Structure 1
């Protein structure tokens, strides 16, 4: 999504709230077949996601596993304070959805931090001490309070837009 353009067009301040997507996933990850066994046709859904990503020019590769994003979310809150929240989120998206990297592993997250020029030692400390765990917990509670069950979910006032969408859908969401 072209967030800067949307912010300028509507004079918005965006607030990112992280969401507990499969929070019980172990660090080594879990196969999508296991996670959705008997509930979702994984190949069909991945094909649909690929089509949407292609239509929006988003990098996306077919993957076989999901990984726990809690640590990435905590480090993302830290990256926001460093002024690189959007760059961090973009890099994590690329790592997870396009490259299939395990974003639950601190080594993967530190590599992302390093690629952005952020202080690696500080990031390692943030991960070890779970400095931003409370901020993530607050976001998770907010998501529950708003009945958010899918990512990405976009809210404006009392209206909601779910999923990756064309720019015009965001314009309609905000215009009402």
Structure 2
């Protein structure tokens, strides 16, 4: 895989979608951030946390596997930092992320985002028009 080519494609897609995209040089493990994200969802702050994590990772190039980075994201999403620290330290959402990964594996999902309707699957960020055609196809076919 040509990392520079992939990153150029991501920057082009992000620009087309109006999303900020930095020039990060490293890829970091997002597992712990996924666990914190599930917790944030239970607190009604999932969207805020995920937007904070997106910016930290894709715009600022931060390592979202680091405890302090996650604590900063938790604060940025207006979540309780003490409870967040406990979630991180005790890995309370590890089993839930394992279950999500297993479900994805069974569904043949290997990348994010992946959009599935019926037997059709779109992988990667897609323009609105492509997603609309997929939905329309399934609306017309009654699937």
TM-score (norm 1): 0.74
For the residue of structure 1 that corresponds to 2:44, the secondary structure is coil
Question: Structure 1 unaligned runs (5+)?
Answer: 1-39
Q: Which stretch has the larger CA shift, 111-120 or 149-158?
A: 149-158
Cα RMSD, aligned residues only? 1.2
Question: 1:173 & 1:59 partners in 2: Cα distance?
Answer: 26
- Deviation of the 1:174 alpha carbon: 2.2
Which residue of 2 is the match for residue 153 of structure 1? 114
TM-score by length of 2: 0.90
**More helix by percentage:** 2
> Which structure has the higher relative contact order (CA within 8 Å, separation 6+)?
1
The match for 1:11 is: none
Equivalent in the alignment of 1:31? none
Deviation at 1:48, TM superposition (A): 1.7
From 73, 89, 95, the equivalent of 1:134 is 95
Structure 2 unmatched runs, 5+: 138-143
- How much has 1:148 moved relative to structure 2? 1.0
SS in structure 2 opposite 1:101? coil
Q: How many correspondences in the alignment?
A: 137
Structure 1 Cα separation of the partners of residues 52 and 97 of structure 2: 19
Number of the residue aligned with 1:175? 136
Alignment of 1:64-143 (within 5 A): 64-143=25-104
> Could you report, residue by residue, the CA deviation over 1:97-123 in whole angstroms, capped at 9, with x for unpaired residues?
111000000110110110121100000
**Distance in 1 between residues matched to 2:77 and 2:9, nearest whole Å:** 31
* Rounded Cα–Cα distance in structure 2 between residues aligned with 1:150 and 1:164: 10
Distance 1:158 1:42 in 2: 30
> What displacement does 1:168 show?
2.3
CA distance in 2, matches of 1:141, 1:91: 26
